A and B are shown apart, each in its own frame.
Chain A
């Protein structure tokens, strides 16, 4: 069963290894040209130090089950990156990815059918799991030691619930990006803005040139609204600063605090400005109904100039789009408003275990190591993956854009903050925050009204 499929992908890996080793190592890469091309999606798997796992005893023949929200095509790279561990220890990793992960995980936990390990994409869900189900097991010492060594204090904090460290970070993403077309910018003589004011000036200039600068879309099925919460969070980080951001996400200051309302106004200055939006899709209200995954598409046909979206938007460009500093599309860091500040909004997955068998702990430890991060970087040949693991050798990453993201994450100047809606209670962060942002655009609800309504919905207990 599992073993059979793993073997076949290993064979695939061997065949393509030589060609791909070149891509993986060459510093000048040709980016996502081969995006989605399945046959090249494998690479030489680096060697790792097996002795680390001796302390967990003889694990040969055991199985660890993993449940995640990561499905094909990314699933293939995930599974490939476990090969060195499986070879070292003889453990079989049984992988299951599902798009219904969040609802299904809770059902399984409550029914007593927990997987050994789950990759939880939100700290808020992690604390729900710990507090409501009691099924989670604290991380072993070896994992904690890895996290202390390779991750920043704030990342460890997001995997900690009530002072107990449960979950080591896995992958990471960065949301503070603005996508644009380098070729279109060059043609029109626009410069990539490095301050907020420059960005507004650029927007005005584009308007003066008779075009609409910004495009945005926040529709996403039952999660409609989340791209707008990212916008707001990014601006709160810039208007109110990281400390106020922390107070905001933990409800030490209310949601309708004047700084938050000011941030919403700042978002409105761009996204609710009829001159600025919504390039290619209509008026302000069309932002609410435009699908997030296609919202940047007008950049390609020249209808739109700027689209704020995360690094994983890289995978949403149609096949054949060149993502490069001199290509069809690229992204710049969403500038800060104050000189010397460099806040980054992002997210990531966390590895939480529901069993403390030695093979489970060994696998947790492997996933939190620099070894795993480097193996994962090497096997992810189509790009689109980074980690906040400081042991990650960014040369191993597949694309220049991924290296840009890795460098941002490793930048000592930068202050990383986790996606706030993932930290807030579910009824806000995945409830009213989403729906009120929809109303913000769809029915022109004011910043104050939106903030008041979300504050009113904050759970009292």
Chain B
């Protein structure tokens, strides 16, 4: 059976060629690109892709239009009526941006400060752990691995009280440290599970060859594996970023105490008002908080669009 191989970066040029290269000088990639296009020239394939894309985008588009409409219009007519009778205003965005005694930028900074370490730390730890699971032989390896991945199911809610008591003892409650630590812990089982999958698909021959050259585990990890894992790290990084960025529960519990550590989601949640009646403002807030994740996705996308490792197949 063949096993897929992630990925070495191609140069910028190769990628351009992949989409635009002249047919006369077909490299392997070009031919593959052409084949891909051929597959889509089937009208059914095109139609299916467009239908899915439209289905997936329409609800969000509806909310986007809604976020520009006044509250009474929202309640009394559908958002699609604005096509015939355009009526937009920025009131919801104004309330979302300036409706708090604390500046929105404070929350933005907090979100960023929370998110970056909460992405970097678990990914690093998980990379090391999944390397051990994939390429170091030790007793009880499989059972340990299964135990770790099964722990994904522990609901975060059951961990809140034990963790918070511990942080209170350590004097860490209400600080960024508690939030980073908690996010890292919660991310580990899934991160190890996903990265292990990528890790073990790297051809054994590559590792063996490095070992022949006398490289130890640390050297193999950094020099052989890391470059090959860039797409995997990028894709998991995006999701971890999203989960932390959109998290409300963890920061409410461990960062609780005031505006110094509260992330954007805490502010967005309170836009709904004390009794939850102001969700028209919340619709604007949802889009404001979406901006950063979208930028991150677009920025990281190029790392997993490329990624072809020539040749090495093993059975």
Contacts and interface: CB of A to CB of B under 8 A. Distances in A.
Interface of A: 1-2, 5, 8-9, 36, 38, 65, 67, 69-76, 79, 94-100, 104, 107-108, 110-113, 220-221, 293-294, 297, 300-301, 312, 315-316, 318-320
B194 interface: no
6 contacts: A65-B257, A69-B274, A74-B273, A96-B256, A96-B257, A319-B70
A95 B160 CA distance: 22
Contacts of A74: 273-274
Contacts of A94: 257-258
Contacts of B242: none
A113 B173 contact: yes
Interface in B98-114: 98-102
A273 B271 CA distance: 36
A97 B270 contact: yes
B298 interface: no
Contact of B91 (A9, A67, A113, A319): A319
Contact of A99 (B164, B167, B168, B272): B272
Q: Closest 8 A-B residue pairs measured CB to CB? A: A111-B164, A293-B277, A71-B270, A318-B72, A318-B71, A111-B165, A316-B277, A297-B75
Given A111-B164, A111-B168, A316-B277, A99 B71 contact: no
Given A71-B274, A79-B101, A319 B252 contact: no
A94 B259 CA distance: 10
B29 interface: no
B179 to A, nearest CB: 14
B64 interface: no
Given A38-B99, A75-B101, A111-B160, A297 B256 contact: no
Given A1-B259, A2-B258, 6 more contacts: A5-B101, A38-B98, A75-B101, A96-B258, A98-B266, A221-B276
Contacts of A1: 258-260
Contacts of A297: 72, 75-76
Contacts of B98: 38
A318 B252 contact: no
Interface of B: 70-72, 75-76, 91, 95, 98-102, 160-162, 164-165, 167-168, 173, 248-249, 252-253, 256-260, 266, 269-277
Contacts of B253: 104, 107-108
B259 A72 contact: no
A8 B101 contact: yes
A47 to B, nearest CB: 23
B168 A113 contact: yes
A94 B258 CA distance: 7
Contacts of A9: 101
Given A1-B259, A1-B260, A113 B164 contact: yes
Contacts of B99: 38, 72-73
A283 to B, nearest CB: 19
A366 B76 CA distance: 45
Contacts of A95: 258
B2 to A, nearest CB: 49
A1 B257 CA distance: 12
Given A297-B75, A318-B70, A318-B75, A98 B252 contact: yes
A421 B301 CA distance: 52
Contacts of B102: 5
Contacts of A221: 276
Contacts of A36: 95
B72 A300 contact: yes
A110 B100 CA distance: 30
A221 B269 CA distance: 14
B276 A111 contact: no
Contact of A72 (B71, B101, B161, B277): B101
